[in-house]
């Protein structure tokens, strides 16, 4: 996901550096020099401190937070940890389960022909196995993942 320009850390640092420079000039110069310091020489426009401060504060407080996935139930957590061994694989598996079940983590979740935590279709269930427990479904999904990666899932990372 691409961040908007106003969420860039460099932009914030540039504004804050300019504010610090303006405060320093104000403290160490006369009022006429301060007026010149607040004027951008190249454009002749004013850059008031209050506007810059407001822009920074608005960016900090009104930037939307990333969507967090709902907490994972213990049985699903243990099943995924058992079959996926690296941190990256586990995070991807948890994200797949959260997306495929709509955040419900329901082992009985259905969507047409797709069933379970990983929403596996009838072909995948017949080939890789399936069960009613989170462990059985994670085992089947892990077998499927070893053969195909995340490409069979619509919510792939």
Give the per-residue pLDDT at 155. Answer: 87
Give the per-residue pLDDT at 112. Answer: 85
Radius of gyration of the chain (CA): 27
Token pair listed for 143: 């077998």
C-alpha span between 8 and 29 (Å, rounded): 32
Q: What predicted TM-score, i.e. pTM, was given to this entire model?
A: 0.58
C-alpha span between 59 and 7 (Å, rounded): 7
C-alpha span between 48 and 57 (Å, rounded): 15
Which residue, chain included where needed, has tokens 């020489």?
41
What is the 8-class DSSP label of residue 47?
A: -
Q: How many CB atoms lie within 10 A of CB 62?
A: 8
Say if residue 42's pLDDT is above 90. Answer: no
Contacts of 143 (CB under 8 A, 6+ apart): 128, 129
Which residue, chain included where needed, has tokens 């403290």?
27
Query: pLDDT for 43-64, tens place per residue?
Result: 555 556 666 666 666 665 665 5
Mutual angle of helices 9-28 and 49-62, in 10-degree steps: 150
- CB-based contact 93:117 (threshold 8 Å): no
Among 8-17, 114-123, 131-140, the minimum mean pLDDT is found in 8-17
Say if residue 69's pLDDT is above 90. Answer: no
C-alpha span between 131 and 92 (Å, rounded): 21
Q: CB under 8 Å, gap of 24 or more: what pairs does 60-64 form? A: 60/12, 63/6, 63/7
Residue 30's φ and ψ, nearest 5 degrees, are -80, 175
- Average pLDDT for 58-83: 79
């Amino acid at each position: 996901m691409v961040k908007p320009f106003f969420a860039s850390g460099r932009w914030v640092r540039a504004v804050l550096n300019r504010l610090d420079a303006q405060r320093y000039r104000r403290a160490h110069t006369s009022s006429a020099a301060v007026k010149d310091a607040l004027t951008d020489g190249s454009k002749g426009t004013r850059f008031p401190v209050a506007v810059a401060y407001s822009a920074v504060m608005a960016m900090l407080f009104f930037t939307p937070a990333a969507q967090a996935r709902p907490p994972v139930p213990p049985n699903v957590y243990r099943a995924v940890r058992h079959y996926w061994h690296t941190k990256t694989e586990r995070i991807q598996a948890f994200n797949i389960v959260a997306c495929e079940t709509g955040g419900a983590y329901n082992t009985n979740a259905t969507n047409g022909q797709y069933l379970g935590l990983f929403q596996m279709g009838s072909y995948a269930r017949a080939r890789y196995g399936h069960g009613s427990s989170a462990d059985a479904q994670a085992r089947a999904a892990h077998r499927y993942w070893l053969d195909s990666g995340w490409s069979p899932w619509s919510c792939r990372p």
